[in-house]
Amino acid sequence: MSVTLIDEVVVRKNAPRNIRKTVLSNGLLVLTESMPHLRSVSMGAWVGSGSRDESAEVNGISHFIEHMVFKGTTTRSAKQIAREVDTIGGNLDAFTGKEMVCFTIRVLDENVPPALDVLADLVLHPTFTPEDLAREQGVILEEIKMDEDNPDYLVNEIFTQNFWKGDALGRPILGTKKTVSRFDQKMLFDFYGRKFTPRNMVFSAAGNLEHDAFVEMVERKFSSLAPSGVAVMPKMAAPVATPHITLKRKQSLEQVQLCLGVPAPPVNDARRYGVYLLNTMLGGGMSSRLFQTIREDRGLAYSIFSETSPYRDTGSLCIYAGVAVDKTKQVLQLTMDELRRLKEETVGEMELKRAKDQLKSNMVIGLESSGSRMANLARQQMYFGRFFGVSEIMEEIEAVTTTEIQNLARELFRPESVALTLLGNLGSMEIEREDLAC
């Protein structure tokens, strides 16, 4: 039986990882990494479309479908799915992001066949019954309310909607009360039929498995999918970020939640390791500049950090903090001072070395389980179309210079690009554009 268009052993620079790639005859890409020293296998079906691939009218439908596949298939009820997974000691999960939806399961290696059977059934044969749909609408409407009551989540959501204003990237992954309330069975099946296609999916697995035998099992389950659909991660026009100052007054909060951000390079940009290091030094850990200056030296905040959010065509670098209302402007000023200092002063070699060691350690430790390897395979394939060995990544990190860090800071931290959202009991506080000078 011939099941492949491509069967490739992936040989990567300085990499001992045993990664193989096969494309089934219907276009579905199957990736595996053999880790014979483990007793587990993690596998996942990754759909290369997320909330930013939805129209405004169906905002939230990817997340809704992610929920609905667990409600029953043509051969299993929701209770049967749960019982079968528990019987084999499996961990079944799913998530929806801006650019993908993923369904995963992790089991002992001896339970791969029944685990794959359940996972494939969920992805391929959902029923989306009107009764289940109505119940899940209630669940997700409550989830939306719950997130609106979470200030950490809410400040990010308000920031994102204004930062990517008018673009699908700025819309909430969960959707809105209005859009979720309108979903019906036909809408779900129409969207599902367009997105859950072989060319828009990657099936990855890592752990104690043998590639050829695993591919045969996947082919038996997924051969019913017709060879149609667009390619994973279709090209899109990159959205333009909108600098803004948004003050959301909410009297019930004890703290002011601060989110300050700037546009950043996309996920596959050649300068990405420099951006990661810049973020690490700025707010990526306990030794970072923001943590030391604002928490340790002055005691102005319990939590302050920065993080990057790279996407296929753009990205952002954001700083988050929770502070007392009367300390908000001081924290904001100290933050801008640190951004300015990164632009005006070359970072020291020891600080850069510390950031490099921290980043390398985080990346290596992050690849120590079958689940993380499985996810790493899928993400690298979807965003890069190739795989990076640990040694190659280490070399790229080590190659970043202090001059490159300063040039990146000058490029990213421009006053006209800075956006700010404050959420809390702000009273009469006002923020002017001059307050964001860096």
Segments in 58-208 forming alpha helices (H)? 61-68, 78-87, 112-124, 130-148, 151-163, 177-182, 185-195
Domains of the chain and any CATH numbers: 4-222 (3.30.830.10), 245-436 (3.30.830.10)
What are the start-end ranges of the E strands in 221-331?
245-249, 256-263, 301-310, 315-323
Length of the chain: 438
User: What is the residue-averaged pLDDT of the chain?
Assistant: 94
pLDDT digits (tens, 9 = 90+) for 162-182: 999 999 999 999 999 999 999
Q: Is residue 2's pLDDT more than 50?
A: no
What is the pTM (predicted TM-score) of this model?
A: 0.93
pLDDT digits (tens, 9 = 90+) for 192-230: 999 999 999 999 999 999 999 999 999 999 998 988 766
pLDDT category of residue 238 using cuts at 50, 70 and 90:
confident
Which residues are marked as active site?
66
Residue 361 burial (CB < 10 Å; 0-12/13-18/19+)? exposed
